[in-house]
Amino acid sequence: MSNIKVSTKNVNVHYGTKQALHQVTLDINEKEVTALIGPSGCGKSTFLRCINRMNDLIDICKVDGSITVDNEEIISDEVDVVSLRSKIGMVFQKPNPFPKSIFDNVAYGPTIHGIVDTKSDLQEIVHSSLKRAGLLKEVKDRLHEPGTSLSGGQQQRLCIARAIAVNPDIILMDEPCSALDPIATATIEELIDELKNKYTIVIVTHSMQQAARVSQRTGFFHLGELVETGETQKIFTNPDNEKTQGYITGRFG
């Protein structure tokens, strides 16, 4: 039985007067990949952004309900959002390396969070993060070239290396492969497979096949509601809900 890493209960999100999420209750298991699927505008990315309080950055966005990470409530003004986000890394749809060198992209997080004391410690973290992100071999001789000089797939792995450099527990991925070609996508999927041994991963994806390939559990969102959640194998072969069936078989969306 897996431990529950993130637990959400009756989460509602409003953008102004528009309600984007309705009473979402979902448990996310530790060191597993949980995939969130659903048509555009169904609320899956909004939900993902609740987990690291990214929605705080949007003025009109209001989140209520309960979200716990390691049994600690995070929907509270008293929570230190910066420290929360150091525990929860995020990777976005479009690779977004800083306009800095490859080395500095990865070194940035550990430096500002004060994780390292010495230069050699920093070097060690940068190397190990790039290695875990499966990028070290390809970039070890050009660490001081700009991150933006890498290919799209490499840039995305650089962003993953940047996310894991601050030693998070959880990695949120918002359609991490949608801008990548199939080979770069396969590399990221292989990486996700490895990363799940150490991290809890939540991935939003538009590719049903990707969700089926990389995740152990899947949640299907529709019109702001979590319609169905369960083992990925079950969801993709024999879902309980007709809406899930209709969406994953390409009958509505």
Residues interacting with another protein, by CB under 8 A?
A: 208-209, 212, 236-239, 244-246, 248-253
State the Rg of the chain over Cα.
18
Q: Which residue's CB is nearer to another protein, number 176 or number 239?
A: 239
Report the distance separating Cα 26 and Cα 218, nearest Å: 10
Q: Which residue's CB is nearer to another protein, number 101 or number 218?
A: 218
Residue of 84, 112, 87, 108 whose CA lies nearest to 96: 108
State the nearest-atom distance from the C-beta of 2 to another protein, in Å. Answer: 24
State the nearest-atom distance from the C-beta of 238 to another protein, in Å. Answer: 3
Say which residues have a Cβ less than 8 Å from residue 163's Cβ, sequence separation at least 6.
Answer: 89, 90, 91, 109, 171
> For 138, what's the count of Cα atoms within 13 Å in the CB-facing half-sphere?
16
Residue matched to tokens 């650089």:
158
Q: Which residue's CB is nearer to another protein, number 155 or number 185?
A: 185
State the nearest-atom distance from the C-beta of 207 to another protein, in Å. Answer: 10
State the nearest-atom distance from the C-beta of 253 to another protein, in Å. Answer: 7
State the nearest-atom distance from the C-beta of 208 to another protein, in Å. Answer: 6
Q: Which residue's CB is nearer to another protein, number 21 or number 227?
A: 227
Q: Which residue's CB is nearer to another protein, number 97 or number 239?
A: 239
Say which residues have a Cβ less than 8 Å from residue 220's Cβ, sequence separation at least 6.
Answer: 37, 38, 226, 227, 228, 229, 235, 239, 241, 243, 244, 247, 248
